[in-house]
Amino acid sequence: MEEAEALSTKMGIMARGGIFKCFGSSQHIKNKYGTGYEIEIKIQKPTSSMILDLAQSLGFKDSLDSRIDLASALIKAKLGGLEKQIADQVKVTGLGSDLALEAQQSDNMVLVRNLLGLFHTMVQGYLFIKLIAELFE
């Protein structure tokens, strides 16, 4: 926001798909959307051993460098205990859009390492969100 203020007197907030949500001065935008808190977190990129541990806990016996059908992998992950909200984000409009696009380009096949890496990152993110939510109960 500070960078935009330095460069222009007007700015906008654009959502996915290029749709403007708000347009006006920085003060107008701050008054309208400036309530609450903003937290930025960074999640450690999973190591191979972290991915192997997750693969074992979810019941994946495939090599990390092999390819697997995305739809059957999502079913397997849910049966292995992955939260439904996480698995349901692997779609073109979800947090797992990169993986969904990889599947579209490769006959619905994805690299096991990429799938489990995404799951690891999302699980860590959800754990953090739950922790923060508990603090504000």
Q: What does pLDDT average to in each consecutive run of 10 residues of the chain (137 residues)?
A: 76 73 81 75 91 93 93 94 93 93 95 95 92 84
Q: Which residue has the tokens 């860590």?
A: 124
> Can you give the residue ranges of every domain in the chain?
2-33, 48-135
Given the DSSP bridges, would you call strands 67-69 and 109-111 parallel, antiparallel or unpaired?
antiparallel
Q: What is the pLDDT of residue 1?
A: 66
Global pTM reads: 0.71
Q: What is the pLDDT of residue 16?
A: 67
Q: What is the pLDDT of residue 83?
A: 92
Q: Which residue has the tokens 């700015």?
A: 11
Q: What is the pLDDT of residue 23?
A: 81
Q: What is the pLDDT of residue 102?
A: 94
Cα 34 to the chain's mean position, in Å?
24
Q: What is the pLDDT of residue 57?
A: 93
**88 DSSP 8-state letter:** T
**C-alpha to C-alpha distance for 71 and 129, rounded to whole angstroms:** 27
115 Cβ contact list (under 8 Å, min separation 6): 68, 70, 73, 77, 90, 99
Given the DSSP bridges, would you call strands 67-69 and 19-24 parallel, antiparallel or unpaired?
unpaired
39 three-class SS: coil
